[in-house]
């Protein structure tokens, strides 16, 4: 049975996910994260800047990328990044078998609201996984760059920040991301209180 073709069109923006096979770790130490990021940078150079990274987060066993495309299919970009990384990983750890779980996942970002929503979702992954308390404490995401805590590298933050009309766009984005956590805490507390009342 032929594989289902990934939905894509020129100038599409996508939320890409790549997961470890059987949910196994694809990053075992800090140098692995660095190698993957260098692979993204190499792929951008290889395709002469035809792809832009808006936001990213590398988790232990999966990856999130928010990517702006032009006239080259996203599959070529992701295949290059994941293929080269898998070769280096397999060589380093003498790993046999598929590193990634099938093909990458992709979702087209079709409206303005989802541009910032997808970025927030990506950056809150480590927080919701209880790996850190604050998104800016996680080293392997673009969040600290977008809010201006560290120098920007690899990403182009303007595509996200320009959705905010206030003067301090980075602070506005930070408040936007934090609002999701605060809403989640309130919802959790409300649910807990309701449960206690029933008990």
Domain total for the chain?
A: 1
Confidence of residue 99 (pLDDT cuts 50, 70, 90): very high
CB 116 within 8 A of CB 160: yes
Position 127 in a domain: yes
Which domain covers residue 96, as residue numbers?
13-191
The strand pair at 13-19 and 62-68 is best described as: antiparallel
Position 60 in a domain: yes
Is the predicted pLDDT of residue 197 greater than 50, yes or no? Answer: no
Position 32 in a domain: yes
Confidence of residue 5 (pLDDT cuts 50, 70, 90): low
- Number of neighbouring beta carbons within 10 Å of residue 145: 19
Q: Average of pLDDT values for 66-75? A: 96
Q: What is the pLDDT of residue 196?
A: 34
Contacts for 191 with CB less than 8 Å, ≥ 6 apart: none
We report the CATH number of the domain holding residue 21 as 3.30.70.1290
Q: Residue 68, exposed/middle/buried by CB under 10 A (0-12, 13-18, 19+)?
A: middle
Position 197 in a domain: no
Q: Average of pLDDT values for 154-160? A: 96
Position 198 in a domain: no
Coil vs helix vs strand at 133: coil
Q: Average of pLDDT values for 125-147? A: 97
Spacing of C-alpha 147 from chain mean position = 16
Position 1 in a domain: no
Is the predicted pLDDT of residue 104 greater than 70, yes or no? Answer: yes
Q: What is the pTM of this model?
A: 0.88
CA gap 119, 66 in Å, rounded: 7
Position 2 in a domain: no
Position 128 in a domain: yes
Q: What is the pLDDT of residue 1?
A: 41
Confidence of residue 55 (pLDDT cuts 50, 70, 90): very high
Query: How far apart, in Å, are the Cα atoms of 18 and each of 23, 44, 89, 188?
Result: 10, 18, 15, 29
Q: What is the pLDDT of residue 188?
A: 41
């Amino acid at each position: 049975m032929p594989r289902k073709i990934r939905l894509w069109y020129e100038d599409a923006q996508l939320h890409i996910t790549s997961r470890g096979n059987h949910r196994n770790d694809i990053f075992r130490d800090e140098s692995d994260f660095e190698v993957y990021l260098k692979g993204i940078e190499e792929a951008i150079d290889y395709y002469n800047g035809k792809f832009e990274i808006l936001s990213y987060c590398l988790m232990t066993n999966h990856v999130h990328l928010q990517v702006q495309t032009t006239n080259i299919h996203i599959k070529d970009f992701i295949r290059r990044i994941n293929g080269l990384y898998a070769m280096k990983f397999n060589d380093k750890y003498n790993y046999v078998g598929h590193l990634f779980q099938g093909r990458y996942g992709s979702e087209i970002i079709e409206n303005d609201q989802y541009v910032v929503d997808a970025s927030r979702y990506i950056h809150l992954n480590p927080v919701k996984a209880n790996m850190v308390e604050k998104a800016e404490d996680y080293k392997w995401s673009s969040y600290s760059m977008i809010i201006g805590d560290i120098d920007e590298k690899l990403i182009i933050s303007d595509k996200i920040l320009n959705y905010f009309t206030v003067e301090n766009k980075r602070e506005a984005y930070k408040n936007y991301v934090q609002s999701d956590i605060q809403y989640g805490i309130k919802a959790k507390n409300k649910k807990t209180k309701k449960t206690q009342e029933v008990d």
